[in-house]
Structure 1
Amino acid sequence: MPYRQYPAVHPKKFMDSAMRTHALLADAQLLLNRISRSTAFAGQLMSAAQKSDSTDVGRMLTGTGIQHIPRVFYTPDGLVLQFVHQAAGNQEPCCELRMKMRWS
């Protein structure tokens, strides 16, 4: 007899979370492509982030066409973007994707 009894496995919610994470990954990919391919965009985003100009950072992120606007955290060394998928009617998000990018 095993030491600990585990509940029955029902993977539906886990699978749904994985599926919804694809949308977050697509948005992250779109944003990363923009940052990595445009010196002007990367410089403007970095400048606004260093000034903690949330309005300008938000405007720039929205302008990329992403569907899930990430929460943005500024550090002296870089930027942390937290993409969250909040399913309708749920208090707890089903999934999140966190990216940290350094500039120094």
Structure 2
Amino acid sequence: MHYFYQPRFNQPPYTRQNVYLPVANAQIVNLHPLFEHLNPMNPNYLHYVVQQQPNQNPQPSNRPPYPPVDADILYESANQSNKLMKEASMVLGKLASSKEFGARLMDVAQRSNTKEVERLIQSVGITSDVVVYYNPDGLEMEFRARNLDCCKLSISMRWR
């Protein structure tokens, strides 16, 4: 028993448009004259032909399309984040302009007086909620928008 493979390509064989199907699933086209006497429908005979691949839909049909875009929440979050950045800038400006303020903040943090650390930061004039974390190496402030769970701004500073 012999197996023959005689491809006949109308296009280059390794392009994306080509699909190679067994003879049983495709029509035979342009057999090479040397092999015309062979019966390609014989299951022992393997012959492939080139067929164009159908256009693929980039989005599967069983998946619903994306929902319509609503930018209201993003708009509100961006506005709140802008406010948080301004307030964080106020705190950073106070720390950058006053060594006394920074020394006082470090002193109460070393004494583990969290309420006083938060009071000092609020004394700059911010209205957002601030969660303060500190350790012997530095300070981290997390600014959060009041009454909204849309955004937060975290700033870490090192003092050692």
In the alignment, what sits opposite 2:108?
A: 48
Per-residue CA deviation, residues 59-102 of structure 1 (Å, 9 max, x unaligned), is 21121111114100112210110000133xx5xx1110000001
Point out the structure with max Rg over C-alpha.
Answer: 2
| Over 4 Å off, 4+ runs | 3-6
Q: How many residues align?
A: 100
Which residue of structure 2 aligns with residue 95 of structure 1? 151
Gaps of 5+ in 2: 1-57
- Residue 54 of structure 1: CA displacement? 1.0
CA contact (8 A) 2:128 2:146 kept: no
| Residue number in structure 1 paired with 2:80 | 20
Q: What one-letter code is carried by the residue in structure 2 that aligns with 1:96?
A: K
TM value normalised by structure 2: 0.57
Structure with greater proportional helix content: 1
Work out whether residues 91 and 121 of structure 2, in 8 Å CA contact, stay in contact via their aligned partners in 1.
yes
Q: Structure 1 length as normaliser, TM-score?
A: 0.84
Instruction: Report if the CA contact (8 A) 1:86-1:94 is conserved.
Output: no
Query: Structure 1 vs Structure 2: percent identity of aligned residues?
Result: 33
Q: Which has the higher contact order (CA 8 A, sep 6+)?
A: 1
> Alpha-carbon deviation of 1:6?
4.2
Unaligned ranges ≥5, structure 1:
none
Whether the 8 Å CA contact 1:61–1:69 is kept in 2: the answer is no
